[in-house]
Amino acid sequence: MAVAPARGAIGAPLDRVDGLDKVQGKADYAFERHPEDLLYGAVVQSPHAKARVTAVADAGALALPGVRHVLHHGNAPALEPVADGELSVLQSDEVAYRGQAVALVLADSLEAAREAAGRLAVDYEPAPHDVLLRDDHPGLYAPDGVNGGYDTDSVIGDVERGFAEADVVVDRTYATPTLHNNAMEPHAAVAQWDGGDLVLHDSSQGTSGERATIAKLFGLDPARVRVISHHVGGGFGSKGTPRPHAVLAALGAKVAGRPVKLALTRRQMFSLTGYRTPTIQRVRLGAKRDGTLVAIEHDAVSQSSHLKEFTEQTATATRVMYAGANRRTTHRLARLDVPTPSWMRAPGECPGMYALEAGIDELAHELGMDPVELRIVNDPPEHPENGKPWSSRHLVECLRAGAERFGWAGRPASPGERIEGRSRIGYGVAASMYPTYRAPAQASVKREADGTFTVRIAAADIGTGARTVLTQIAADALETDPGAVRVELGDSALPRAGVAGGSMGTGSWGSAVHKACRALIGGGGDAAQADTTEDVKALEPFARHAFGAQFAEVHVDADTAEVRVTRLLGVFAAGRIINPKTARSQLIGGMTMGLGMALMEASVLDHEFGDWTNQDLAGYHVPACADVLDIQAHWIAEDDDHLNPMGSKGIGEIGITGTAAAIANAVFSATGTRVRALPIQIENLLT
């Protein structure tokens, strides 16, 4: 497909079109809806990781002033079965994890609802639980597939023969912990029934998909459900599918015959909104003395719940990154008494790239080779497993440009060599990759009486600037100024659109918006609409990915072993950049999350109680401004006409996928100590 020429709006650093509304408090979020006759909901959670509810004594709670209803498995309306067992709330007496919702209290005030929830008497019959992931778990199995529609395993060539022929082999095991998304805006919903129709205001990354799921749960035609999510205060994947709070709000409103507002507390988000699964990953790499890879193996172990099978695609990035005739990747899953993991920024690619890129660094050290050059030597001319031509691949250019900008040539020659004052200084590098997805979407555009244009699409702006870049795409397609375009989104009543996830929002929604706008210009009328369902098939012959290179400098205190990331630099090849201002923000945000993954973030599991102990932002640490001293995001010009009419690739996730490895590799450079389990903590380095 031909990429549309820029007409002025695309490529400009346009300020966010909704920025003023946000700073003035005019942007509406789900919890801020306040219909008349409103009830507040409070969730009662199980204190056991595996149990059966034997009794719910609700008389005491209902006797409190203002308390109207208590719902539990014994009196809640029946829901239709769906694939996501997490959504079958209050349908069974079985408890599958600690923190699972076992009751819902509805009251006239939030205070009354929470008071009653705390007093509700629920009896349980506990059972022994199993919450610990290990690579020798007796229940490990190979699922039928992994997230994203990928095959569970892949085998190319003869891996064992390849290792036998290698001059150097590294065989390492890496581990990543449970990570929680912790968006700024807690998950919240306001549900209201009008006869048999449901209107649900929810903090959602995809109103069209949520409408379909909620409708199925309640046995409704999707036309009778409307999901509205005009603004979302972050999600990182945790709002990509409906969560139990939305179903509970709808159930409560149905029983009460009144609107219900339900917001999860920060602590409840650790149980009811998904998380990144912990992983155990074995990486084996075999190479010739010149660095040429002859064997690659990546085995990943992760966990899911007994309510739903979710397998993170941890090893799939290894299928893409480097050349090598003999290769094998596998995924194995353990079903434990835990909540169901789900999407978190770059699910699969993020932890998988950490292990692979740390392994590549270890191989470079064993070979005595520059890790930048090792990656360049093994850059594949085509997809190394399916043989498809790249739509574009400029990883080598990113590595070379990043090395020059960063001053890589001046890196310490050997680990622990450079000491300045109290600091041991190290440099690290890692590559980044993320697939370029595109999903079908619909859009409409109308020419208003005043000469402006209104574009409508059920997209979601979760803080990424989607409204702004869609405005720019529409303006160029309409051959007008961005100020003449208004974009309406965040409502399932608008033309259907896919989820804000997988870094595919701009490419998917923008294609539909562009097509509708060009149809209006070409048709000469005052309105037009478009559907890109058929257009997506043209992309199949190509392997489409964004690539990048991350460089990190760390200072490790020689006495306390405290690690400080003093410089972090990324160079990316992500197609045409629609808006450099919002793009840089997204890339820096991803890199900052990667810094947190490397040094801070971890949900700490208490095996006895089967739950995470640090369920707040005091115990679950994320980077603050003082932790990000010098962070830069750059990109190279990349023209790719095999993607979408804009020539864009996703940027929401490429920034995170290489950062943790670059920092871990820099820590090794500084100290000579290789830490293979994240996050890197002081006690790992004190020896």
Active-site annotation, residues: 653
Please give the DSSP secondary-structure letter assigned to residue 118.
H
Find all residues with CB under 8 Å of 290, minimum gap 6, and list them: 377
Token pair, residue 234, equals: 């972050």
Contact (CB, 8 A) for 485 and 13:
no
Gyration radius from the chain CA atoms: 26
Angle at 627 between CA 625 and CA 629, to 5 degrees: 80
Backbone angles phi, psi at 217, to 5 degrees: -60, -40
For residue 119, the Cα-to-chain-centroid distance in whole angstroms is: 36
Distances (CA, A) of 24 to 19, 188, 390, 476: 9, 21, 45, 29
Q: What is the DSSP string of 351-392?
A: HHHHHHHHHHHHHHHHHT--HHHHHHHT--SS-TTT-PPEEE
* Euclidean distance between CA atoms 250 and 244, whole angstroms: 10
* Euclidean distance between CA atoms 54 and 553, whole angstroms: 56
Per the document, the length of the chain is 687
* Euclidean distance between CA atoms 262 and 30, whole angstroms: 10
Find all residues with CB under 8 Å of 81, minimum gap 6, and list them: 88
Contact (CB, 8 A) for 515 and 527:
no
Token pair, residue 412, equals: 């310490």
60: enclosing H helix or E strand: helix 59-62
Please give the DSSP secondary-structure letter assigned to residue 459.
-
Token pair, residue 368, equals: 């005595």
Residue that is written with structure tokens 């040094």 in the block: 599
* Euclidean distance between CA atoms 246 and 225, whole angstroms: 13
Amino acid letter, residue 21:
D
